[in-house]
Structure 1
Amino acid sequence: MILGIDPGLSGCLVVLEPNMAYLRHLHMPTMKLASKNRVNGAALAAFLREHPVRHAYLEHVGAMPGGGERKMGAASAFSFGHSAGGVEMALQVLGIPYTLVTPQVWKKRAGLQGKEKDAARARAIQLYPGVRDLDLKGKGQALADAMLIARYGSGA
Structure 2
Amino acid sequence: MSSILGIDPGCSGALVMITARGTYIDHMDMPTIKVGTKSRVNGAAISAWLKKFHISHAYLEQVGAMPGQGTASMFTFGHAAGVAEGILQGLNIPYTLVTPQAWKKSAGLIGSDKDAARSRAIQLYPELRALDAKAKGQALADALLIARHGAGVNR
In the alignment, is residue 54 of structure 1 matched against residue 56 of structure 2?
yes
**Counterpart of 1:117?**
114
In the alignment, is residue 74 of structure 1 matched against residue 71 of structure 2?
yes
Alignment of structure 1 residues 4-153 onto 2, 5 Å: 4-64=6-66, 70-153=67-150
What is the letter of the counterpart of residue 142 of structure 2?
D
Q: Deviations over 1:7-38 (max 9, x none)?
A: 00000000001221000000000001122110
Q: Unaligned regions of 5+ residues in structure 2, if any?
A: none
TM-score (norm: length of structure 2): 0.95
RMSD of the alignment, in Å?
A: 0.8
SS of 1:153's partner is: helix
* Percentage of identical aligned residues: 62
What is the letter of the counterpart of residue 89 of structure 2?
Q
Q: In structure 1, what is the Cα distance between the partners aligned to 2:54 and 2:65?
A: 31
Q: Deviations over 1:116-140 (max 9, x none)?
A: 0010000000000010010000000
Which aligned runs of 4 or more in structure 1 are off by greater than 2 angstroms?
A: none
What is the letter of the counterpart of residue 127 of structure 2?
G
Q: In structure 2, what is the Cα distance between the partners aligned to 1:107 and 1:46?
A: 29
Aligned length: 151
What is the letter of the counterpart of residue 53 of structure 1?
I
